Structures are given as structure tokens and as C-alpha cells.
Structure 1
């Protein structure tokens, strides 16, 4: 699954620079995650870095975008040009 940022986001700006795939950007009101770029940090780290740094715990799994670890790794390989 990719991750999503909820309305609890306080726009603290700590998640965006932590994303190795550039999936996080400023939306109209809060930060947003591009599900096409989010790999939950698979291929880069053992845990999603945005979740690790978020001070308000507002970055859960996006239940609407179910992906296996293998699918996330495939996406990582495509994004990084290692496919």
C-alpha cells in the first residue's frame, strides 16, 4: 500500500525532505503523497521515513491502494531506473 497524509497534518515540512522517491509535496491545504511514487520506502529503508519523522502521526497506510511488498519493490525499481 502507499501511504497517505490525513487532515491532521500540521504542515510542519519534516516529511517532504525525508521521502527518497519525491512522493511528498505541498498540496492545496496540507502535504500530499503521490501514490504512484510511494513505495513505503521499500528499496531504500526498512521503515517509511515520513512516518518516522511525523510529529502528529498523520501518515497511515492508504487502504484504498493495496500493494504487496513485491509490488512496492517493482515500483521502486522502475522509479530508480534499476528495472
Structure 2
């Protein structure tokens, strides 16, 4: 399942460079599906929503770092475990119960974001 960052985040910046999917953003930062992915133009997310991959989306938080669930694969296809969780000094990154996904679905999302 995708991960999320709680309000216990101290905005230390440790997690952001660890994410192979560019799913982690700074507080108050706009984001797009195309950021550091192969996505471009109109695409359908793994959850079936049609979006413009190039459009800028509103920040999900203006106070602490946030994870875009549709871009989070828990590092499947890159690492054995989520790298952001490993480097977080305050243990504020947890599974997002709203995005229950199997390992197979996470690997499919990785291919959707980056190709084979």
C-alpha cells in the first residue's frame, strides 16, 4: 500500500531524495504525475482516474512533507523496503490504509510510472 507522512514530520528533507518515484514533495509544493516519471499527457491512474500527467496539482500539505499515493510503490521494483521509512529520524511515515495494494499492484504501478 502507499505510504503517508504524519504531522509529526520535522521537515528534515531526509526522505525526499530517497524516493525512486518522486512521490514525496515539500510542504506547499505543487506536484504532477509527470515529475521524474515517463508519464505525459492524459493518462489513467492505476485506480482508474483519468488525469493530465503534466498539470500541476495543489499541494497535499502546506505544513509538512507529503506523499502522493498514486506515485508511491513502497519502493517495490527498486528496493526490498521503503527507503523513506529507513531514513526518517522521527518515524512519521506509515502505511496509508486508504490505499490498500498488493505487491503485484505496487509493481504494476512502478511499470505505469517508469516503464518496464
TM-score (norm 1): 0.96
Q: Distance in 2 between matches of 1:2 and 1:32?
A: 12
- Tell me how large the CA RMSD over aligned residues is: 0.6
Q: Which residue of structure 1 aligns with residue 57 of structure 2?
A: none
SS class of match (1:8): coil
User: Over residues 25-52 of structure 1, what are the superposed CA-to-partner deviations in whole Å (9 max), with x where a residue is unaligned?
Assistant: 0121100000111000000000000000
Q: Which stretches in structure 2 are left out of the alignment for 5+ residues?
A: 28-61
Q: Which residue of structure 2 aligns with residue 45 of structure 1?
A: 79
Q: Between Structure 1 and Structure 2, whose CA radius of gyration is higher?
A: 2
Q: Which residue of structure 1 aligns with residue 51 of structure 2?
A: none
The list of structure 1 runs, each at least 4 consecutive aligned residues, that deviate by more than 2 angstroms after superposition, is none
Within-5 A mapping of 1:1-83: 1-27=1-27, 28-82=62-116
Q: Distance in 2 between matches of 1:11 and 1:56?
A: 10
Deviation at 1:22, TM superposition (A): 0.1
Aligned residues: 82
Q: Which stretches in structure 1 are left out of the alignment for 5+ residues?
A: none
Deviation at 1:78, TM superposition (A): 1.1
